[in-house]
Every structure is written in structure tokens, then in C-alpha cells.
Amino acid sequence: MRVNRTYMTKQENNQPGESPSEKKKEYKGPWDIRPYLAIGLTAVLVVLVCLAIFFFIFRFQGFTEGVSKIISSLRGILFGLLLAYLLNPVMTFFEKRFRKKYAAKHVLTQKKERTIRVLSVVCAMAIFLAIIAVLLILIVPNLVNSIQELVLSMGDKVDALMSWLERLSEKGGILDNVREGRLETFVQDAFKYLQDWLEQKLLSGEVDIFSRVTAGVYTAVQFIFNAIVGIIVAVYVMMTKEKFVGQAKKLVYAIFRPRLGNFVMEIIHRADDVFGGFFIGKIIDSLIIGFICFVVMYIIRLPYPVLISVIVGVTNIIPFFGPYIGAIPSLVLILMVSPVQALYFLIFIIILQQVDGNIIGPKILGNTTGLSPFWVIFACLLFGGLFGVGGMIFGVPVFAVIYYVIKRIAEHFLRRKKLPEDTAEYVHLNRVDIQTNRIEEWEKDRKPLNQIERNSFFKKKEDNES
């Protein structure tokens, strides 16, 4: 049904003898609730945001439990989205090569474009599955053998370590506590506690073993199911990525005004650069470090080369603290075999981390996050304390995006105030001239406030005193 809306004309508004209030435009028709609807929606959003902040701060444990349940339910889809995001550069590489090769001889049609996309997705997924197969065939058996050898020979290694400490004490008198038996008692108690824990937890009866086997089988089946779902989701997302991107952009501009929508798109592009560059670079860097560690340990005949290389490579994904997290347990494992070899490993791992931090890492990662070392440590500690190891891995790129948003907002307000945006301009700042917006440095431009500025700052105080 069409609503007729009539307004008084200009001549009717200008009739003689009418007051100014009566000359206003008169609206005849249904009550317009749009302004009140906007106010109501704003109030509802403010209340929802306040409630979200309240539950996030004061009910953080319940909040994390709810998030964990959601993540656990969508684990397969999340894995698929992450896999599609990581394989997208590989797929794009093959797609450009296939398109260039085919376009030189034929005319590209929509059907041919789809065929090229299918071939590109197949190639990208084949590379991923080949890497997984290599890891399963070459690394996993050696890794299992190393762990079995370590568990079976733990008692002998502890005795050898104690004998070495006793010899060291007898030669130089460095460890007096060994002579008194304190260190020996401590190590023996620790080893006995480990044996008791293994017997109680792993060998506590047939019922416990059956329940653990059942739980292990269930976990394995669930992992395989999530992996299959993830691969299917990844293939579907890569096949129709343009549609998903278009829907996301349409939703952004449907919610926000064009100016704010442009800012949101800028943040999304920045987040894509940060996350893509960080994770792909970190994965490549960790593979290189793990391979170098294996080769060097194999050449100089250090024990457990496969196990320690996997530990060093995996923990290297964690920024800043990862190398230390991987080096400490690896050093302990080698120390139980040979203290001299542990010293060689310590020297090697220090050199390797220096090469990675100063040569390999900067070449691969560059400055993808835009964060200084201080903010990297801050992000690792903050998100690691909140979300554990996953927070330490994802915390740096997430904080890099937050840092970028805050930086852009600060620059926006500085431009509105006609102040410089470069941080170097504020290093030696003493004050800003409120008339010219000129930055006055602390040493060479230091001077007292002039009378106009004193009046603007202390007018109320002088009025009260008078």
C-alpha cells in the first residue's frame, strides 16, 4: 500500500499573520520512526558491547570455555579455511602458469578457466599431501624409535649422568653437594617419581588401559574425520574463493558507510599481508632450521637427531621464545647421554639461532608484522598467558593488526589537528604552539607560555582568584 505524504507549500507557510513557529514545514501522514529506530539500535549495540566487555573481563573462564566449545565443533571447517588460506599462493602460482601457457594457443572461455582452476587446486593439494606423506614415512618412524630408545634407556642415562657429576666433583671440587649425596638423592628421587608416575598412569590396570585405548581410538577417528572435512572444505573454498570474497566485501559495505567501509577493507588487506607473510614465512623458516639442525647433528654424531630437529623446528614457529623452548628439553635429552655432546649442542644451537635471527629470518619474513622486538615480546606474553601456546603463535600477527588500527586512528586525529604524523617529530617535543601548531623541541625552543596561552589555560583559575 502506498502512503501519501503531503507537505504545506511555500505560499501556505508564508501566509500573513502567522508566527515563525507556525511557518515551519508541517508533515501530514504516518509517524516517521526512523530517527527513533536508529537511536534504539545504537542503544542496544552499546548495551551488547558493554555486556561483552563485562563477560570478557569478569567471566573470562566461562568465555574461553564457550569459545573452546565453538572451536571444537567447527574444528574441521577451521582447519579447512586455514589450509585453503595457506595453499592459496601455491594454487595462484600454478593457475598463472596454466593460464599463460593455455592463452598463448587458445582463447580462454569460462569452461577453460574452470578447468585451469581445477588443475591448480589439484596441484596445490597434491603438494600438501606429498609433504604429509614424506613426514609420515621418513620422520614419524625415526621419531617413534628415538622416543622408545629414550624411555628404555632412561635409567642407564641417569646413572651415567650421576657418574659424570661424581667424577667432576672429585677432580675440581666444583659440586660439593654431590659428595654429600644431596644431588644424587635428588636425581634418584626424581627418577623414582617418574617411574611411579609411569606405573600409575600408564600401567595401572587393564581397565585403565582399555579406557585409554578407547579414548585414543576415538581421538584418532575424530582427527581423521576433521582432516577429511578440512580437505573437502579447503578444496571447495579454493574453487569458489571469488564468490566468498565478493560476499564478504558486500557485507562490509552493507553494514558500514563507504568511507568507513574503505577503512575496514584497508584493515582486512593489512591483516591478509600480516597473517599470510607471517605464517607462510614462519613455516618455511622452521622447515629450513629443522633441516639444518638435522644435517649438522647427523654430521657431528649427536644423539636423537630426528627427535631434536623436530622439536627445534616446531618450536621455532613461536616468535622470540620458540628457540629457547625447543633448546632446553633438547639440551636435557643430550645431557643424559653425554655432557660433552650437550655442550657441543649448546654451542651449535646458539650459532644456529643467531644465523636464523639475523640472516635467514629477515630474508624470509622481512618486516611483515611492523612490530619492534619489545611489542613482539609483549604480544607473546599477553596472548600466551591468556590462550597458551596457541596464543603465543597467533598473538603476534593479531597484535600487529591491532597496532596498525591504533596507529591509523591516531594518524587520523593528528591530521585533523594539523599536527605531524611522524613519530620522530615527537621525540624531543617540549610543547605545541596552540596558534601555529608548530612543535617546539625541549632544548632549543624551550620558553615559558606566552600571555595568550596562559589566558587560554588558566582563565578559570585567574577568574576565581579575582
Q: Hey, which of 9-13, 107-111, 211-215, 462-466 has the most confident mean pLDDT?
A: 107-111
pLDDT digits over 219-228, tens only?
Answer: 888 889 999 9
What is the chain's alpha carbon radius of gyration, rounded to the nearest angstrom? 33
pLDDT digits over 325-366, tens only?
Answer: 888 888 887 877 778 888 899 999 999 888 888 888 887 777
Give residue 452's pLDDT: 47
Give the integer Cα–Cα distance in Å for 166 and 176. 9
At residue 202, does pLDDT exceed 80? no
**pTM, whole model, 2 decimals?**
0.69
Confidence of residue 383 (pLDDT cuts 50, 70, 90): confident
- H-state helical runs in 300-421: 305-315, 322-337, 339-355, 361-365, 373-387, 389-416
DSSP H/E element including 28: strand 27-28
- Amino acid at site 459: K
Confidence of residue 71 (pLDDT cuts 50, 70, 90): confident
Give residue 58's pLDDT: 66
At residue 22, does pLDDT exceed 80? no
What's the mean pLDDT in 30-42?
A: 68
- For 4, phi then psi, to 5°, come to -90, 125
On the CB side of 375, CA atoms within 13 Å amount to: 13
Give residue 131's pLDDT: 86
pLDDT digits over 89-105, tens only?
Answer: 999 999 999 888 887 77
pLDDT digits over 397-412, tens only?
Answer: 999 999 999 999 999 8
- For 27, phi then psi, to 5°, come to -100, 125
Give residue 34's pLDDT: 63
